[in-house]
A and B are shown apart, each in its own frame.
Chain A
Amino acid sequence: MIIGPRLLPLWAVGLGTLLPVAVPATAAPHSYTVVIDKLKFGPLPAQLHKGDTIIWVNKDMFRHSATATDHSFDVDLMPGKAGKIVLNKTGSIAFICRYHPNMRGVLQVK
């Protein structure tokens, strides 16, 4: 054995730490959080890409949802809970809260 058993884990750990830096930023899907508070969707992430995840955090005492008007995603959000979706298409995706249709926003996905 050229690589001793004690050396291998160290080498693996070293590569593991370097890996995220080496890969271009656009290749790996990102995860973003959108906070819902006082019957409003908070700031939306700007640089979204297909495959990215959005975690919707409902800080209200009310039940909400994040529902795409084109039905590409729909997540029910109980009071104080969070839910996530994965963006499966590109373009402008308008969404509303199913229970409070005047709560709305548009995601721009590249």
Chain B
Amino acid sequence: MIYRSSLFAAAAILTFSGTALAADAPNDAQIAHIAYTAGALDVAAGKQALAKSKNKVVRDFAQEMVQDHTAVNDKALALVKKLHVTPQDNPTSQALTKAADSERSKLAAMSGASFDREYISNEVAYHKTVNGALEKTLIPSAKNAELKSLLETGLKLFEEHQAHAEQVAKELK
């Protein structure tokens, strides 16, 4: 499972950033990049599901992901513009992107009920990983109050999405 290992790698980097917090915390430009990337990757996954899935529950979930993460990322873009911050690429964003890329290729080869189950189980895992990063690393490290507040809203959203994904996963069994 190429994908699982790369998600673990991403999780490991995120956890590592957590332990290395005091010495090497991400700066606001990197945090903004990670949060935006995490949202954009989930929008891409949702669009793939909307293109492939025929299951109403899965499609409704995917639609919600696209809608909600687009809303947060629009706010994030407006905020970095206002703060004159240029989001800065970093190993965490790269690991997340790499993991999402291999998952997208894997899903591209699947269809029907197996696609639905894989998409949803990955959504559960993905939201868990990002929740952990937001809670342990990104929110505590953020210096700017507005960025911190947007990340906190992002965490609430990711938690809600994780719970929703877990619910959908149960329904698919």
Please report B residues at the A interface, Cβ cutoff 8 Å.
64, 67-68, 71-72, 74-75, 153, 156-157, 160, 163-164, 167
Say yes or no: A38-B153 contact (C-beta < 8 A), given A61-B75, A63-B67: yes
Known A-B contacts A39-B156, A39-B157; the reply to A62 vs B163 at CB < 8 A is no
- Is the Cβ of B71 less than 8 Å from the Cβ of A100? no
Q: State in angstroms the CA–CA spacing of A61 and B167 once bound together.
A: 23
- Total chain A interface residues with beta-carbon distance under 8 A: 11
Name A residues whose Cβ lies closer than 8 Å to a Cβ of B: 38-39, 61-63, 79, 99-103
Which of chain A's residues have a CB closer than 8 A to the CB of B164? 100-102
* Chain B interface mostly: helix
Which single residue of chain A is at the shortest CB-CB distance from B75? A61
Choose among B71, B72, B153, B167 the residue that contacts A101 (Cβ–Cβ < 8 A): B167
A102: which B residues are within 8 A, CB to CB?
160, 163-164, 167
Contact between B156 and A61 (Cβ–Cβ < 8 Å)? no
Query: How many whole Å from B32's CB to the nearest CB in chain A?
Result: 17
Tell me what chain A mostly uses at the interface: helix, strand, loop, or mixed.
Answer: loop
Query: CA of A28 to CA of B168 in the docked complex: distance in angstroms?
Result: 43
In the complex, the answer to whether A38 meets B67 with C-beta atoms within 8 Å is no
Q: B72 to A100, Cβ gap below 8 A?
A: no
| 10 CB < 8 A contacts A-B | A38-B156, A39-B157, A61-B72, A61-B153, A62-B68, A62-B157, A63-B67, A63-B68, A101-B164, A102-B164
4 A-B pairs with the lowest CB-CB distances in the bound complex, closest first: A102-B163, A61-B71, A39-B156, A100-B160
Do B153 and A100 have beta carbons less than 8 Å apart?
A: no
Please give 20 more A-B residue pairs, beta carbons under 8 A apart, in addition to A61-B74, A62-B67. Answer: A38-B153, A38-B156, A39-B156, A39-B157, A39-B160, A61-B71, A61-B72, A61-B153, A62-B68, A62-B157, A63-B67, A63-B71, A99-B67, A99-B68, A100-B64, A101-B164, A101-B167, A102-B160, A102-B163, A103-B160
